[in-house]
Structure 1
Amino acid sequence: MSENERAPYSAAAWGIGWVVFLASGFAASILLSNAWHDCDIGVNTSANLGDLVMASTSMATASTFLWVLMRKVTGRRRLLYPLLLTTAAAAVLLWPLMAIWHAPDGYPVSFCPPDNVPPWWPAWLPV
């Protein structure tokens, strides 16, 4: 396929890209805020709020980049395959996000021993 014959980005692809961006950022912020709330780390302090915004924005950006990459790999005319692949990859990206951001640096372990890991986090998945 030559450069002139390539399918342009459709409005649906742009819309799904925005949905991927917003949904993954929202999922990351909900996951972290629930972990911080359950371990009594708190989200209301300005330092933790900045961390929450940084973590959710980085998750949203990474998953949107994955959406673009999956669209290029699977073909621009398809929407379902890249959406499923992006959803699976974003779910896999939540683990390192939680491993890095689950407890702010220097926060004492008091409510969720041994490492400020919330009780609802799966034991088979280390953070």
Structure 2
Amino acid sequence: MSDRRALGWAGTALAPAMALLTAALLGRAWSACDVGTNNAANGTFLLLLFVPALTLALLLLWLASVGLLGKHPLICAMAGGALVLTASWCAISLLWGGTTYYCPSGVPPWWPGVVPAPGF
């Protein structure tokens, strides 16, 4: 039972942290490419709507992996981590800004070339 409790605490810490990191990355990309109305409106959306919704979705994914694979803590942690990373990447891809004047390719200038740009 202590393994499940530890996995629960890990998910409780991981979900909001990953949601905040995802929002920060998305906000930086929007700011660099001049996407949206302005930075205040984008930040308000990210802080008040995006972060709580993504935290809840990531926490539910983590809890689903614990519920299904709770008897195998290492596999559960790896599967939960993969689910959380995949869901964050999908959230970034859905809200990633398109091509703009400042980012003709749709990718900010600071984005590393070895990491594929988000998008479906």
* TM-score, normalised relative to structure 1: 0.69
Structure number with larger C-alpha Rg? 1
Identity in percent = 23
RMSD: 3.0
**How far does the alpha carbon of each residue in 1:23-80 deviate from its partner, in whole angstroms, 9 at most, with x for none?**
22122112212212321348731x21232122222222111111110111112x5433
Q: Hey, what does 1:3 align to over in structure 2?
A: none
Q: Hey, what does 1:67 align to over in structure 2?
A: 62
Amino acid at match of 2:88: L
What is the alpha-carbon distance in structure 2 between the residues aligned to residue 125 and residue 40 of structure 1? 17
2:46 counterpart of 1:56: no
**How far does the alpha carbon of each residue in 1:68-108 deviate from its partner, in whole angstroms, 9 at most, with x for none?**
10111112x543322211111122122321222223xxx98
What is the alpha-carbon distance in structure 1 between the residues aligned to residue 119 and residue 5 of structure 2? 40
Q: Is the CA contact 1:63–1:86 (under 8 Å) kept in the aligned structure 2?
A: no
Q: Hey, what does 1:110 align to over in structure 2?
A: 101
Residues 30-45 of structure 1 aligned to structure 2 (within 5 Å): 30-41=24-35, 44-45=39-40
Amino acid at match of 1:126: G
Gapped regions of structure 2 (runs ≥ 5): none
More relative contact order in 1 or in 2 (CA 8 Å, sep 6+)? 2
Amino acid at match of 2:82: A
What is the alpha-carbon distance in structure 1 between the residues aligned to residue 77 and residue 9 of structure 2? 12
Q: Is the CA contact 2:15–2:84 (under 8 Å) kept in the aligned structure 1?
A: no
SS at match of 1:58: helix
Q: Hey, what does 2:22 align to over in structure 1?
A: 28
What is the alpha-carbon distance in structure 2 between the residues aligned to residue 108 and residue 81 of structure 1? 39
What is the alpha-carbon distance in structure 1 between the residues aligned to residue 19 and residue 65 of structure 2? 18
The alignment covers a number of residue pairs equal to 115
What is the alpha-carbon distance in structure 2 between the residues aligned to residue 83 and residue 49 of structure 1? 31
What is the alpha-carbon distance in structure 1 between the residues aligned to residue 2 and residue 52 of structure 2? 27
What is the alpha-carbon distance in structure 2 between the residues aligned to residue 11 and residue 86 of structure 1? 14
